[in-house]
Chain A
Amino acid sequence: MADPKELLRLMRELDDQLVSCMRCGMCQAVCPVYAETGRETDVARGKIALLEGLARDMVKDAAGVKNRLDKCLLCGSCAANCPSGVKVLDIFLKARTILAGYLGLSPVKKAIFQGMLAHPRLFNSILGLAAKFQGIFTKPVNEMLGSSCSRVLSGAIGNRHFATLADKPLRTLVGALNTPAGKSGLKVAFYPGCLADKIFPRVGLAVIKVLNHHGVGIYLPEVQACCGIPALASGDMQTFEDLVAANVAFYGGADYDVLVTPCATCTSTIKKVWPTMSTGLAPATREKALAMAEKAMDINAFLVDKLGVAPVAPSQERAKGALKITYHDPCHLKKSLGVSTQPRTVLSQNPDYTLVEMAGCDSCCGCGGSFNLQHYEMSKHIGMVKRDNIAATGASVVATGCPACMLQITDMLSQAGDDIRVKHPVELYAEALP
């Protein structure tokens, strides 16, 4: 456990960022958690005030502050709507790091993050093993969604309708890749992210198909490490930095134009969080991490902005017999990276569907990574609002550009018994290709 004085010193380092909050309270209008509870400690203004109180020694209960701080989806809605431009996520991630350092990680999280995630090779093999045996623990309840209800681990997993681990992760299916640039003249490093690797390898396969179609060379190393956001969100800076360094080792030496990922959260972490939070890395490693961050790009944005995939306008002829599709804007794509038109353009490549926008298409689905594990009931309440908006469109498919959102939405739709598929825009594009 760190020295409380050290905590205070670190807190004062945050001072410049904390004072930029003018307490206007506009975050109350957009915070999905506040909308559920109406509690000031749940909204960014309240959390920032608590941190300031702690830094100024006006609040004593650091564990209490950490507890309120953890009750956050890290969706970035507040930051995107903040009149003063407060770097809310930066503040929260730093503060979680400081508080966790002070209070010590909970034993469970320590085991998960330091043991498994920090050792990507081990992580890959553990999950690979789990996939083989999970059939024993789960029973299928909604075949179409590919989710299953926990039979045994009810204490830990509750009533979630988890999308199951894939039989074979993407790595096993395609192995390492290193193909030269084709007609596009571009080569990408492909970073699938943990979820597209292990839960939704079909998304990874779709990315590869689309890239091949456009003549884009692909570099995919045999292993990747987690982008680090779950560790950082728990305040585990050491694991976070180890993971960034591991990814630098896997990707840093390769020659490529763009680093693409199909995961909104991974893209936003690599692009926005790596540069601000990995300051403790060795200079050479940090330089490579910054270069990766500079090149990181969402797959939808890459297809539209780099390859020139153009929107296909819905024609009357095409609308005939077409199925309805709706699109959910992941917070980490729209609010963090400003990517919202490109996934819709990618969707429009598939002639079998017409897009019907849902109400609140850019409101958070309630997943928020470990928030979902710690505050499942609230996560579900927020998710069910999203589910209702999806169902109201009458769409047979909901697309979204983030596998974490895909997990949450799959859970919600499955629990409501909806006959609606959840897909990544790239999957829909891939389906339309020969």
Chain B
Amino acid sequence: MISDALVKEFQILVGKDNVLESEVDKYAYSYDSAVLDPVAPGLVVRPTTSEALGRVVKLCNDNALPLTVRGAGTNLSGGTIPRKGGVVVLTNALSQILEINEADMYAIVQPGVITAKFAAAVAAKGLFYPPDPGSQAVSTLGGNVAENAGGLRGLKYGVTKDYVMGVEFFDVDGNLVKSGSRTVKCVTGLNLAQLMVGSEGTLGVFNSIILKLVPPPVAQKAMMAIFDDVNKASETVAAIIANKIVPATLEFMDNFTIRTVEDFSKAGLPVEAKALLLIEVDGHPVQVEEDAAKVEALCKEHGAQRIQVAKSAEERNKVWEARRAALSALARVSPTTVLEDATVPRSKIPAMISALEAIAKKYQLTIGTFGHAGDGNLHPTILTDRRNLEEWHRVEAAVDEIFDVALSLGGTLSGEHGIGMAKSRYMEKECGTGTILFSRKLKKALDPKSILNPGKILGD
């Protein structure tokens, strides 16, 4: 319970309109996109200036109040579900693009800037910000950095961490900490910027972020390869990578996903296909032609029945619309959609896909698998109804086994969704006790009262 006097102090810092204390308002910040139980905070505050943000952090620390920063609340691992009675700090009033520097190819943003709006502003200046998480239409850059968000372009362009040049953040005492710079090279001090990437709000609160921009590719070519056998498709993925071609995007869809997407979008997908690969190469026009020809040859060599190359921008859009519709279409099938993102080294994609099929059979579950095959990051999506407890237990067991398989193949628990609350209990399996202890010592030193998003990543 936060006292009236303390509520008043928050009101003085951020203004009365920006402190939400009614039961109803607070409950609306009790969840994110993860399939987890809601937890209502004790207070919600929405700072509109940097100064206020820093003071809010300090006020929380002075009163040992748990603090969870929230952008758009699209997190898939429970990273933005608050502590009971804690404070949710909204960043959506800190949404200014402070600078887009074309000469030096960087941008400085406040944490609440929407990813897609930023990418569009950058594109308008003739530059390119590649990270494109599925939630980009609403997600915030602060959230992207805190979760180290990925996307469809990870294979060639990398993920959010590859674009963070520097950060400014508040520590628990409200001091401003700076790391990194506007320069391409910078070895000044500890590399705190990269420590903050993917820290899920457990080490500090972002005030601003310096992001790297790159020149956009001049040409693109997209194609769809159709297979009558999942193994042939997954072997093709491994073969493309082994042949040292790096497509911008290399996506996979299984038969269940294809049929579901087609039912929903009527995009003309081949519903009889056992698997599809959606591939895009980009870069210099000559190289694009060359790479596209090689990819086409490799697909045929590995048993693709047919290959459709997009002949126009419109056809290219159609290919990607079909891919983007995958999660949406699957989500319509059943009340609860459990979207996993266990990731394996890309050469292990064939093994991972067969394992997923076996798991679906073993636990009698409907699993649609699609995702970023090119970077080893598949999204097995379990379609279920959480209210059916018996089935829900099978879902939990299946998820455990998906993690076990991914780890046994040399992979990782999460490619891009984060650990949050959903996967913290599996951490030790992947990293070992030493890693957990080290991380906890680090956390304890930086946040002695454990106010910053407690319980996330490292558990309690």
Contacts and interface: CB of A to CB of B under 8 A. Distances in A.
Interface string B366-386: 000000000000000000011
A16 B335 CA distance: 7
A24 B74 contact: yes
B335 A20 contact: yes
B23 A26 contact: no
A25 interface: yes
Given A19-B387, A60-B23, A49 B30 contact: yes
A49 B72 CA distance: 15
A61 interface: yes
A59 interface: yes
Contacts of B385: 19
A23 interface: yes
Query: B40, B92, B116: which has the most chain A beta carbons within 10 Å?
Result: B92
Interface in B96-148: 114, 116, 135, 137-138
B227 interface: no
A20 B330 CA distance: 12
Given A19-B385, A25-B33, A58 B332 contact: no
Nearest to A42: B28
Interface string A7-29: 00000000110011011111011
A280 interface: no
A278 to B, nearest CB: 26
Given A53-B38, A58-B38, A22 B22 contact: no
B176 interface: no
A83 interface: yes
B328 interface: yes
A84 B24 contact: no
Interface residues of A, number: 30
A29 to B, nearest CB: 4
Interface string B30-70: 11110100101000001000000000000000000000000
Interface residues of B, number: 37
B261 to A, nearest CB: 12
Contacts of B72: 25, 28
A50 B24 contact: yes
A16 B334 CA distance: 10
Contact of B138 (A25, A46, A49): A25
B24 A59 contact: yes
B238 interface: no
A50 B387 CA distance: 18
A65 interface: yes
Most buried by B among A46, A68, A83: A83
B27 interface: yes
Contact of B33 (A22, A41, A60, A61): A22
A104 interface: no
Nearest to A28: B138
Contacts of A39: 20, 25, 28
Nearest to B40: A58
Interface in A121-153: none
B137 A26 contact: yes
Interface in A56-99: 58-61, 64-65, 67-68, 83-85
A58 B38 CA distance: 10
B151 interface: no
A314 interface: no
Nearest to B136: A29
Interface in A364-416: none
B137 A64 contact: no
Nearest to A20: B335
Nearest to A17: B335
A71 to B, nearest CB: 11
Contacts of B90: 38
Given A38-B90, A41-B24, A83-B328, A22 B32 contact: no
Contacts of A49: 27-28, 30-31, 38
Given A28-B138, A38-B46, A22 B23 contact: no
A20 to B, nearest CB: 6
Contacts of B114: 29
A61 B331 contact: no
> Which of B46, B73, B114 has the most chain A CB atoms closer than 10 A to its own CB?
B73
Contacts of B23: 59-61, 64
B194 interface: no
A64 B26 CA distance: 11
Interface in A320-374: none
B239 interface: no
B138 A40 contact: no
B337 interface: yes
B165 to A, nearest CB: 27
Contacts of B14: none
B122 to A, nearest CB: 18
B332 A84 contact: yes
B336 interface: yes
B93 interface: yes
A41 B28 contact: yes
Contacts of B335: 16, 19-20
A83 B22 contact: no
B29 interface: yes
B327 interface: yes
Nearest to B338: A22
> Chain A CB within 10 Å — which of B32, B35, B72 has the most?
B72
A65 B73 contact: no
A39 B22 CA distance: 13
A26 B331 contact: no
Contacts of A53: 27, 30, 38
Interface string B414-438: 0000000000000000000000000
Interface of B: 20, 22-25, 27-33, 35, 38, 40, 46, 72-74, 90, 92-93, 114, 116, 135, 137-138, 327-328, 331-332, 335-337, 385-387
Given A26-B138, A39-B28, 12 more contacts: A22-B336, A23-B31, A25-B72, A28-B72, A38-B92, A49-B31, A58-B38, A64-B23, A65-B24, A83-B327, A83-B331, A85-B331
9 contacts: A16-B335, A19-B386, A26-B138, A49-B31, A53-B38, A68-B28, A84-B328, A84-B332, A85-B332
The 6 A-B pairs at the shortest CB distance, nearest first, are namely: A83-B328, A64-B24, A40-B28, A46-B28, A19-B335, A29-B137
